[in-house]
């Protein structure tokens, strides 16, 4: 199975990568670190599953690239673009946060999850990640398991 992790926090990305490798055999993991590189990967490759961060910069950050604009809802934008291009790869949102945006755009994680569920058929659920607590692992495992099962069926 080919999994794409779209994540700009290297430490979190590495944890997710490690988690997938530890738990599943024959898994191939690729990483993208921004909204644009995530979209580019999705449109040029065909992963079987996407683990998607929500808040990211426009471009991958490097020494001579600040990363461009920050997007509070980069993950949602990737899902929207996938729908626009009729790409139906299952997506699990994995986020540190329990709230997103500011002022008029502010939403809680629960509200955002409800919105994603309503708008995007390929959205399979959200896992709240914590760097110092491992309770995200069973949740993620459950969601990945259900996707694998559907794939097998």
Partner 1 sequence: MGKNAIASKHQHSTERVFARARATITASGNIRTGLSRYKSNADPAELRLTVPMFATHPAYKSLVWPCPKPPTYSKLGKAGLPGYASLENEIIWGVRSLLSWGATLVTFLKLKDQADQFYLTGEIAALNATIFEMERSCGASLWLAELKIAAWEAVQSGKDDGSSGRNLAHTDGMHPLAQFIITWFAFRAKRNLSAQEFLRFVERVAPMSEDATSGLLHILSGLCPTLTVDQAAQIVSYAEYFSAIDRYLILRSTIQVLIAGGIIPDELRQSLLMELRALEYAVEDQSISRMIASLGKKLNRRPESKIPIEVLNSYTIGNYSKAQQDCDKLLLEHFDIEILILRQRCLVYSICKFQVQDFSLNPVNHETCPANLIAQDVARIVNFERDGADAISRLSKMALTCNNACWAASLNLFLTRVRNDDRIGQPTRQQVCWALRQSVENPSLTFAFESFSGAEAYLEWAYPGALNEVAGQAVLDLIHPDSPTTLIRTETEPHRWERLQALRSLRNHDAQSAIGFIQSQFVESVPRVIRIEAGLLLAESYLRSREYQKCADVCADLFLEAPYTDRLLPISDLTDRLLQASDDLSVSDPALLGQLPVVIVFDLFCRLVSPLREAERADAFKDFLRVQNVRVASELTREAVGIKRAHLIYFLRKICVPDVLDQSLALASTRSVEDERANVLLLLSDLTTEEGKPPAPEITEELRSIRTKQVVRETTFQLDQSRVYVNVEGVKRTLGLGMRETWQHYRLMLLHGDLEKHVELQKLIRNLVGSRLIVSVGGAIAASDKLLLAMLQEVRDLFATSKEFGLDANLSTNVRHGYIMRELRGPFVTRQLVTNKSTEEGGYKLNVYWLERHLEDCGGETGELSDALQKFTKEVDRVIEHLNRNVIRIRSDTAPEGLFWLSFSETHLWLMRDEVISIDNYEEFVELVLSRLWSMTYQCLDAIQTYLRGPVRQELNAALAQLQQTLSKLTPTEAVSALTVATNLVRPDINSAIERVSSWFVPTAESDFADYPLKIAYEAALATVRSYFRDLDMNPNFSDIPGALLAGPTLPTFVRVFSILIENAALHSGISRGQLRLRGETSCDGDQLIIAVVNGLDPDLERLSLIAKLDRVNSGFNREGAEMAIATEGGSGFPKIWRLLTHDLGRKNSLRASLTDTDELEVLITLDARGIVR
Q: Which residues bind partner 1 (CB under 8 A)?
A: 8-12, 36-37, 39-40, 43, 55, 57-59, 61, 63-69, 77, 80, 84-86, 96-99, 130-133
∠ CA 5-143-41, nearest 5°, is: 25
In the complex with partner 1, the residue whose CB is nearer, 98 or 111, is 98
Q: Minimum Å distance from CB 65 to partner 1?
A: 5
Reference 2, options 23, 38, 31; nearest CA is 31
Q: Minimum Å distance from CB 24 to partner 1?
A: 26
In the complex with partner 1, the residue whose CB is nearer, 64 or 152, is 64
Q: Minimum Å distance from CB 146 to partner 1?
A: 26
- Token pair, residue 86, equals 């009729």
Containing H/E element for 6?
strand 2-6
Determine the Cα–Cα distance for residues 21 and 28; give it in Å rounded to an integer: 8
Determine the Cα–Cα distance for residues 110 and 20; give it in Å rounded to an integer: 25
In the complex with partner 1, the residue whose CB is nearer, 25 or 63, is 63
Q: Minimum Å distance from CB 9 to partner 1?
A: 5
Reference 32, options 5, 70, 67, 9; nearest CA is 5
Q: For tokens 């699990």, name the residue.
A: 92
Q: Minimum Å distance from CB 41 to partner 1?
A: 10
In the complex with partner 1, the residue whose CB is nearer, 8 or 29, is 8
In the complex with partner 1, the residue whose CB is nearer, 24 or 41, is 41
């Amino acid at each position: 199975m080919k999994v794409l992790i779209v994540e700009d926090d290297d430490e979190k990305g590495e944890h997710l990568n490690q988690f997938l490798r530890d738990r599943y055999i024959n898994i191939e993991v690729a990483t993208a670190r921004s909204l644009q590189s995530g979209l580019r990967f999705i449109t040029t490759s065909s992963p079987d599953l996407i683990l998607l961060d929500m808040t990211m910069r426009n471009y991958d950050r490097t020494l001579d690239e600040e990363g461009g604009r920050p997007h509070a809802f980069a993950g949602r934008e990737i899902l929207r673009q996938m729908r626009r291009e009729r790409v139906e790869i299952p997506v699990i949102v994995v986020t540190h946060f329990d709230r997103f945006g500011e002022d008029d755009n502010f939403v809680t994680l629960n509200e955002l999850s409800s919105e994603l569920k309503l708008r995007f058929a390929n959205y399979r659920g959200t896992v709240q990640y914590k760097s110092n607590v491992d309770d995200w692992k069973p949740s993620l495992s459950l969601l990945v398991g259900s996707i694998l099962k559907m794939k097998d069926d």
